Amino acid sequence: MARIELNGITKSFGAQRALKGLDLVVEDGEFFVLLGRTGAGKTTTLRVIAGLEKPDTGSVSIGNRDVGGWTAAERDVALVLQQYSLYPRLTVRGNLEFPLRSKVRRQSEEEIARRVDRAAKTLQITHLLDRKVERLSGGEMQRVSIGRAIVRQPSVFLMDEPLSALDAKLRESLRVELKKLHAELGATFLFVTHDQVEAMSMGDKIGVLQSGRLVQVGTPSEIYERPLNTFVARSVGSPPMNLIEGRLGAGGAEIGGYSLPVSAAALGARAVTFGVRPENVVLAGGAPAEARVFDIEDQGVIKILAMDMGDTRLHVTVPAGTRVARDEVVRFGWKPERVLTFDPASGVNLALG
């Protein structure tokens, strides 16, 4: 059993505070994605769990045992990095065998051969086994590093943006493979990324990390539909959620001189930031508000419109068949039940307190 639990982890590098009281629980067998921008502390979090970095305060437990005093070798975690992930000078086979030849995990030769073969088959790298790692493409390298992680059969996989250096197509196929692998192995995966598409498509759960703190944890749909604050709201979804300053009045939402319906609970009259995702804005002839189309991006299935309502830039997705031209003035409304309200000062989602 390998549940990961971090309690109140802080970690500073000189004056730079990388983690500020991080609490995180990853349940056994879960595929947990840690999403955060660059510098949020994602790598540091993984290094703390792996035992490569000692936290200043706080405790780390794996499988309900405090591993604070354990070395990296004793923790039985596998780490896959974005780059520099393979041992140079060794062949692919040498790399895959490497962990199985360490003192703590020494295996018999037959067992090593068996595991290497199986991992190679799983990742379709059998034909590369005798190649030197310098001669691999980026995608092959990442497969091999994932292979090196799985031969050990660890209870925890830590992955630090393993796909971010790859091209889009490869990224997509490896995403699928990783999910499959997770299903087969049943191990705990902690996957770190700054790519929200990766987070949404892979995670059983997503944790949003902001400057060394975990802001919200939830399933992808919870994160998407019920973000705790504007930061989380804009972390997922592409194009990001529209945030519109306005007022909640008797007649509903008042934005840019227009009045739109809302189904938000009675909050009383007050200034709020309305949040509405691009797909929940509707263009319609008799709709209450008006904006000028600034740009159109045709993505095949849908079109993404950027339009200006006063000084507020809004993004809207519409079916590809929609006829609309640049600089055209269109009327729009929104789906009232999908509109979120945030506190303008703190950014907190008012519906969630």
Partner 1 sequence: MAEIKTKGEMLFNRGAILAVVVALIIMLTPIYWIAATSFKARNLATTIPPTVVFEPTLAPFAKLFTKRSQLREPVAPEVYEAAPWWEKLIYDGGEQVVRNKKTNEPTSSGFGNRYMNSLIVSIISTFLAVSMGTLTAYGFSRFRVPGEQDWLFFILSTRMLPPVVVAIPMFLMYRAVGLHDTHIGLIILYTAFNLSFAVWIMKGFIDEIPREYEEAALVDGYTRMEAFFKIVLPEALTGIAATAVFCFITAWNEYAFALMMTSKNAQTAPPYIPSQVGSGLSDWTVIASGAFLFLVPVAIFTFLLRNHLLRGMSFGAIRK
Ligand X SMILES: Nc1ncnc2c1ncn2[C@@H]1O[C@H](COP(=O)(O)OP(=O)(O)OP(=O)(O)O)[C@@H](O)[C@H]1O
Residues that bind partner 1 (CB under 8 A): 50-52, 71-73, 75, 77-79, 81, 83-85, 87-89, 98-99, 102-105, 148, 152
Q: Quick check: 142 binds ligand X (CB under 6 A)?
A: no
Tokens of 214: 């975990």
Residue given tokens 């994602």 in the structure block: 42
Q: Give the one entry of partner 1, ligand X, Mg ion, none that residue 81 binds, where binding means its C-beta sits below a cut-off of 5 to 8 angstroms depending on kind.
A: partner 1
Q: Quick check: 193 binds Mg ion (CB under 5 A)?
A: no
The contacts of residue 108 (CB under 8 Å, 6+ apart) are none
Q: Kindly identify the residues of this chain, within the stretch 25-84, that bind Mg ion according to CB under 5 A.
A: 43
Among 22, 26, 30, 44, binds ligand X (CB under 6 A): 44
Q: How far is the CB of 198 from ligand X (least distance, A)?
A: 13
Q: How far is the CB of 86 from partner 1 (least distance, A)?
A: 8
For residue 58, how many other CB atoms are within 10 A of its CB? 17
- How wide is the angle at C-alpha 2 spanned by C-alphas 45 and 116, nearest 5°? 90
Site string for ligand X, 55-94 (x = CB under 6 A): ----------------------------------------
Q: Is the dihedral of CA 42, 48, 52, 57 positive or negative?
A: positive
Q: Is the dihedral of CA 96, 101, 107, 111 positive or negative?
A: positive
Among 41, 55, 252, 278, binds ligand X (CB under 6 A): 41
Among 33, 35, 42, 215, binds ligand X (CB under 6 A): 42
Site string for ligand X, 181-200 (x = CB under 6 A): -------------x------
Give the C-alpha separation, 19 to 55, whole Å.
9
The contacts of residue 183 (CB under 8 Å, 6+ apart) are none
Q: How far is the CB of 78 from partner 1 (least distance, A)?
A: 7
Sequence-ordered alpha helix ranges (H) in 158-284? 168-185, 196-202, 220-225, 230-235
Q: How far is the CB of 192 from Mg ion (least distance, A)?
A: 7
Q: Is the dihedral of CA 329, 330, 331, 333 positive or negative?
A: negative
Binders of ligand X: how many residues, by CB under 6 A? 12
- The residues binding ligand X (CB under 6 A) are 13, 16, 18, 36, 38-44, 194
